Amino acid sequence: MTSAADSSGVKPPASADGTQLVHVGRQPIFDEHGDVVAYELLFRGSIDAVAAGRQDTYATSTVMVNAFTEFGIREVAGDRLCFINLTREFLAGELALPFGPAQVVLEVLETVDIDDEVIAGITALSEAGYRIALDDFVWGSGHEKLFGIASYVKLDLLDGDLTRLDEVVAACRQYPGIKLVAERLETPEQLAIAARYGMELRQGYALSHPQVLTMASLSPSRLRRLELVGALSAADPDLRRIVSIIASDPPLALRVLRASNSAAAGLANRVSSVRQAVVMIGLPHIRQWATLMVLDELSGATDEHMLGVLTRARLCENIATWFGAPSDAAFMVGVISGVGRLLSISPAAMAEQFPLAPQVVAALTEGNGRLGRVLRAVDAYENGEFGTFDLAGQYMDAVRWSTRALDASNRLAAAV
């Protein structure tokens, strides 16, 4: 199955079940021993795209959003580094990066003019711990001004000017912190050149073509993202309102949970509510993700599907106290299990994508614990197996709450 998106990056509308396909390309980067040590993440508009088609802020934002909040960076790259192309807006600090420096290398595109503003921005990123790579380096382009803070210099051995290769390599070797990346390797001769010059890393079709990773996704509505950006931009952001906005839009809540996965890496912390995920990521990073999602311009799921997931989540929340379960965690398991149904993904597979607390995982995968009893009761009611508990009143409250939430969003949309 292929997407209808073209190379310009125009997204297809959501399908009848409220889902659409999202994509990210990745090309392995090898060391001199042939081991994969990193991936370059690439914009791809469809599953069968062989080139990015664009290298603008939209493409960069889409790669970030898809890699970190749709797939999850651990799914995309494991524990390896990720090279991500950045446009001027990110390098100069006009747009903030929503992730920390631990697993990324920021590539300065060859099309970026290296002026004082860009140098200041890249210097600040370097001082914050981000590694910098100079993409498709050309001697005399001005990018050599960044040698003092660069960790990688990428040299095009296919279309680059090889007559100046001795000079470029010698200049780079004056900086012990720089590793050379031989890129666009397509022939045995080019591989031999990389070996002869002792280039530490290699990338190109002779070693591996890019892969396109694809998955079905529900996307948060543009309105909800704009509302979240507004709430986060207040002088004194209201955490309760921010959590409420995120929790009321299931796809947005799942993206926040996936983003928290990278924040939780290496920690014992596991989240059991949207609020904990927001606190773990931090409001500044939530604001940056929301901004990128606005740039990403993905289409949203239908009101009908959102109403179903929200009603399920609210019903879980409404009856949580009957089983001694925390209401916010019950809402979360309702969202995750409801979205999983829409995407035809099992609760166990959904649970693997997030840094969830053990009791949440047990509820989703085995139906165990107090949260598991909540889910079993809701499942039974939705399947017409009314059993011991009469949930009619709680269900009607959930429908009214979900309907009001969607109606409020639609009224706000009409006023925008």
Mean pLDDT for the stretch of residues 137-145: 90
Q: Distance between CA 409 and CA 395 in Å, rounded?
A: 21
Pairing state between β 20-31 and 81-86: unpaired
Q: Is the domain of 161 the same as that of 194?
A: yes
Tell me if residue 165 falls in helix, strand or coil.
helix
Chain segment 231-242, per-residue pLDDT in tens = 775 667 788 888
Q: Distance between CA 390 and CA 160 in Å, rounded?
A: 72
Residue 5 lies in a domain: no
Q: Is the domain of 185 the same as that of 306?
A: no
Segment among 117-131, 136-150, 336-350 with least mean pLDDT: 336-350
Q: Say which residues have a Cβ less than 8 Å from residue 298's Cβ, sequence separation at least 6.
A: 11, 20, 22, 65, 217, 219, 220, 222
Final residue of a domain: which of 159, 192, 215?
215
Which of 69, 330, 363, 82 shows the shortest CA–CA distance to 217?
69
Contact call for residues 352 and 282 (beta carbons, < 8 A): no
Mean pLDDT for the stretch of residues 324-353: 81
Q: Is the domain of 126 the same as that of 176?
A: yes
pLDDT recorded at residue 275: 86
Which of 120, 190, 124, 178 shows the shortest CA–CA distance to 154?
178
Segment among 123-127, 184-188, 248-252, 321-325 with least mean pLDDT: 248-252
Contact call for residues 14 and 302 (beta carbons, < 8 A): yes
Segment among 61-70, 74-83, 91-100, 207-216 with least mean pLDDT: 61-70
Q: Is the domain of 157 the same as that of 264?
A: no
Q: What is the 3-state secondary structure (H, E, C) of 277-293?
A: HHHHHCHHHHHHHHHHH
Q: Is the domain of 352 the same as that of 272?
A: yes
> CB atoms < 10 A from the CB of 32, how many?
13
Residue 260 predicted with pLDDT over 50: yes
Quick one: pLDDT band at residue 297, thresholds 50, 70, 90?
very low
Quick one: pLDDT band at residue 5, thresholds 50, 70, 90?
very low
pLDDT recorded at residue 280: 84
Residue 99 predicted with pLDDT over 60: yes
Q: Which domain holds residue 398?
A: 221-415
How many residues comprise the chain?
416
Residue 9 lies in a domain: no
Q: Say which residues have a Cβ less than 8 Å from residue 213's Cβ, sequence separation at least 6.
A: 23, 24, 25, 26, 71, 75, 76
pLDDT recorded at residue 14: 47
Percent of the chain exceeding pLDDT 90 equals 33
Residue 87 predicted with pLDDT over 80: yes
Which of 314, 398, 328, 321 shows the shortest CA–CA distance to 360?
328
pLDDT recorded at residue 204: 94
Which of the two residues, 7 and 258, has the higher pLDDT score?
Answer: 258
Percent of the chain exceeding pLDDT 70 equals 76
Chain segment 23-52, per-residue pLDDT in tens = 888 899 999 999 999 999 888 765 554 444
Contact call for residues 237 and 231 (beta carbons, < 8 A): yes
Q: Distance between CA 114 and CA 59 in Å, rounded?
A: 21
Mean pLDDT for the stretch of residues 133-160: 93
Chain segment 374-414, per-residue pLDDT in tens = 999 999 888 887 666 788 889 888 888 778 766 655 554 44
Segment among 1-15, 83-97, 125-139, 356-370 with least mean pLDDT: 1-15
pLDDT recorded at residue 229: 65
Contact call for residues 54 and 7 (beta carbons, < 8 A): yes
- CATH number (domain holding residue 160): 3.20.20.450
Which of the two residues, 321 and 58, has the higher pLDDT score?
Answer: 321
Quick one: pLDDT band at residue 81, thresholds 50, 70, 90?
very high
Final residue of a domain: which of 187, 215, 243?
215
Which of the two residues, 313 and 215, has the higher pLDDT score?
Answer: 313
Residue 1 lies in a domain: no
Which of 50, 33, 51, 44 shows the shortest CA–CA distance to 207?
33
Q: Is the domain of 141 the same as that of 264?
A: no
Q: Distance between CA 283 and CA 246 in Å, rounded?
A: 12
Name residue 216's beta-bridge partners: 21
Residue with tokens 């047990």: 362
Q: Is the domain of 232 the same as that of 197?
A: no
Q: Is the domain of 302 the same as that of 325?
A: yes
Final residue of a domain: which of 215, 246, 280?
215
Which of the two residues, 199 and 350, has the higher pLDDT score?
Answer: 199
Q: Tell me what the pLDDT averaged over the chain comes to.
A: 79
Q: What are phi and psi of 26, to 5 degrees?
A: -145, 140
Quick one: pLDDT band at residue 1, thresholds 50, 70, 90?
very low
Residue with tokens 């300065």: 108
pLDDT recorded at residue 412: 44
Pairing state between β 152-156 and 36-42: unpaired
Amino acid at 242: I
Quick one: pLDDT band at residue 62, thresholds 50, 70, 90?
confident
Q: Say which residues have a Cβ less than 8 Å from residue 302's Cβ, sequence separation at least 6.
A: 14, 18
Residue 7 lies in a domain: no
Helix axes 250-264, 239-247, angle to 10 degrees: 110
Residue 318 tokens, joined: 């409404």
pLDDT recorded at residue 6: 35
Residue 13 lies in a domain: no
pLDDT recorded at residue 386: 67
Residue 389 lies in a domain: yes
Segment among 3-12, 20-29, 151-160 with least mean pLDDT: 3-12
Q: Is the domain of 80 the same as that of 188?
A: yes
Q: How many helices (H) and strands (E) does the chain have?
A: 17, 9
Quick one: pLDDT band at residue 300, thresholds 50, 70, 90?
very low
Residue 206 predicted with pLDDT over 80: yes
Q: Is the domain of 64 the same as that of 194?
A: yes
Q: Is the domain of 193 the same as that of 225?
A: no
Residue 27 lies in a domain: yes
Q: How many domains does the chain have?
A: 2
Segment among 1-5, 83-87, 369-373 with least mean pLDDT: 1-5
pLDDT recorded at residue 9: 41
Residue 226 predicted with pLDDT over 90: no
Residue 61 predicted with pLDDT over 50: yes
Q: Is the domain of 92 the same as that of 201?
A: yes
- Radius of gyration of the chain, Cα coordinates, nearest whole angstrom: 24
Residue 6 lies in a domain: no
User: Per DSSP, which regions of 238-316 are E strands?
Assistant: none
